[in-house]
Chains A and B, each alone.
Chain A
Amino acid sequence: MNTRAFTMQLIAIAFAIIVAPLLIGWVNQCRAWLQNRRGPGILQPYRLIRKLFHKDAVIATNASPLFRLVPYVQFASMGLAAGIIPSLWTGLPFADAADTIALVGLFATARMFLALAAMDIGTAFGSMGARREMLVGFLAEPALLMVFFTASLISHSTSLPTMVNVLAHGPLAIYPSLAFASISFLMVLLAENARIPVDNPSTHLELTMIHEATVLEYSARHLALIEWASALKLFNYVCIGFALFVPWGLAQGLGNLPDLAIAVPALFIKLVAVGFGLALVETINAKMRIFRVPEFLASAFLLAVLGLLVHLLLGH
């Protein structure tokens, strides 16, 4: 691995870490507009993170070292994931070492640590949240894998950069199978990132919360890291979506300057559009009962498998 590639890799990760809260801010801002509120501004997540870093952490007396460790694990795994997912250019040396299946594994690791930490203190909410989080994850994972399989059947590779190269630079074609996969992926994205209709990130109503219940015990820098990791997770998912379904604009290889001059605005245009779309989805849908979440995710899985089948039937 030469130095330039390594530097570019680090820049990619840093870029993702810096931009991620912006996406959350934008989604929240759009949501506020759609709901006729003024909204806190796009930069609010940064302010929140800064504020949290300046506070003193309060930790339960019976917390184990694992509890302190988990925010860092979270943040690290999301950062690592950002290193595999091409957001601006496809020449990511890390991506050679880890393909989409490893990516799913990385997400699963983060989730498992979060669930462990939630149960660590031994509060009722924590355990409940952990259980629900695992339920969602357990159902969302196969759907996500199926989406990846559909895409890799088309590109004959499980590596995300290769998929992007094939889809963006190969001959232009309509892939009905990808249409199925994209809907399925959107459903998984909503579920995994604790968005409406699966979970509501802005409520702490104990009967319905999933993700928030797992992080109730965290405060200060730990909470800041977890919030940041969540933002990063959403950003990662959105970038996976871009890579699979709208890969145009990404620079090939390590990227030269003109390519990057296209890639950066292209990414931001896509982010703006997707952020608005997400806000729209969250505004027009109501949160579903937790018992219907399995049904929702089963549909996602079903759609992904259908995409796979349609691909096999139609042959492209």
Chain B
Amino acid sequence: MVTPLSSQLIDLCAAVLLLLSFSMLSQRRVLTLVDLFALQGGTLFVSIVVVAWNTHQYQLFYSAALTLVLKVIFLPLILNRLIRRLGAQWETETLLNASATMLIGLLLVIFAFTLAEPISRLASTITRSTLGIALAIVMLSFLMMITRRKAVTQVIGFLAMENGLFFAATSATYGMPMVVELGVALDVLVGMVILGVFFFHIREQFDSLDLHNLESLKED
């Protein structure tokens, strides 16, 4: 049972992505979180390039380039600058019961793997087995957004989720049509800009990026 090297590389990338998701889940420092996000983008970039190279799906190189520019360079840079300008670079976050969160994360991974299993079996791509990991990354990012209470962290979780979806698209179908990918990238970019503006609004109004302040609108 010898699988080709390319496929092994992709699997390795997938595993690294999953590992990064977990480290993001347990990372307390905001700036390190941004670095992890950049690293995740980088791994995604490598995996897309490997897929594109091996399957001769050359349109995937565009997606790879898009990932590199947007998710490895541009967004982390913006986030870094934003965090520094907001003076939040030393902020840490208390995690509620890290072990329990991790355990839930583990259950989510099992769930994602089971969910993706029948689909991977149908897929014909060399990357099919990684679909479960992609889904797991999406769910872990989701968990991260639920358990965190800082605006910046939630946004990073959101972007990590986008990464997971990108990875899913690559692993299941060698990427979506170009128009769609461009549209998605545009949405992410615009969303980021809006959120950047938002950080300033939130801080202006509440003097902090802590979302505990954003809990006044309740059912009453």
- Interface residues, chain A, with chain B CB atoms under 8 Å away: 171, 173-174, 176-177, 179-180, 183, 294-295, 298-299, 302-303, 305-306, 309-310, 312-316
Contacts and interface: CB of A to CB of B under 8 A. Distances in A.
19 contacts: A171-B2, A173-B8, A174-B12, A176-B12, A176-B16, A179-B12, A180-B15, A294-B99, A295-B98, A302-B105, A303-B22, A306-B18, A306-B22, A309-B113, A310-B15, A313-B129, A313-B133, A314-B14, A314-B129
A316 B1 contact: yes
A217 to B, nearest CB: 33
Contacts of B119: none
Contacts of A316: 1, 3, 8, 11
A293 to B, nearest CB: 11
A174 B10 CA distance: 10
Nearest to B102: A302
B110 interface: yes
B1 A177 contact: no
Contacts of A305: 106
A302 B1 contact: no
B1 A309 contact: no
Interface string B1-40: 1110100110110111011001000100000000000000
Contacts of B102: 298-299, 302
Given A294-B99, A309-B113, A315 B8 contact: no
Contacts of B8: 173-174, 316
B76 interface: no
Contacts of B103: 298, 302
B144 to A, nearest CB: 15
Number of contact residues on B: which range applies?
20 to 34
Contacts of A309: 109-110, 113
A299 B102 CA distance: 7
A316 B8 CA distance: 9
A314 B129 CA distance: 5
A306 B129 contact: no
Given A298-B103, A305-B106, 4 more contacts: A176-B12, A183-B19, A298-B99, A310-B18
Nearest to B26: A299
A315 B129 contact: yes
A176 B106 contact: no
Nearest to A176: B15
A307 to B, nearest CB: 8
Contacts of B19: 179-180, 183, 303, 306
A264 B197 CA distance: 62
Contacts of B157: none
Nearest to B116: A313
A315 B99 CA distance: 28
A310 B22 contact: no
A177 B19 CA distance: 11
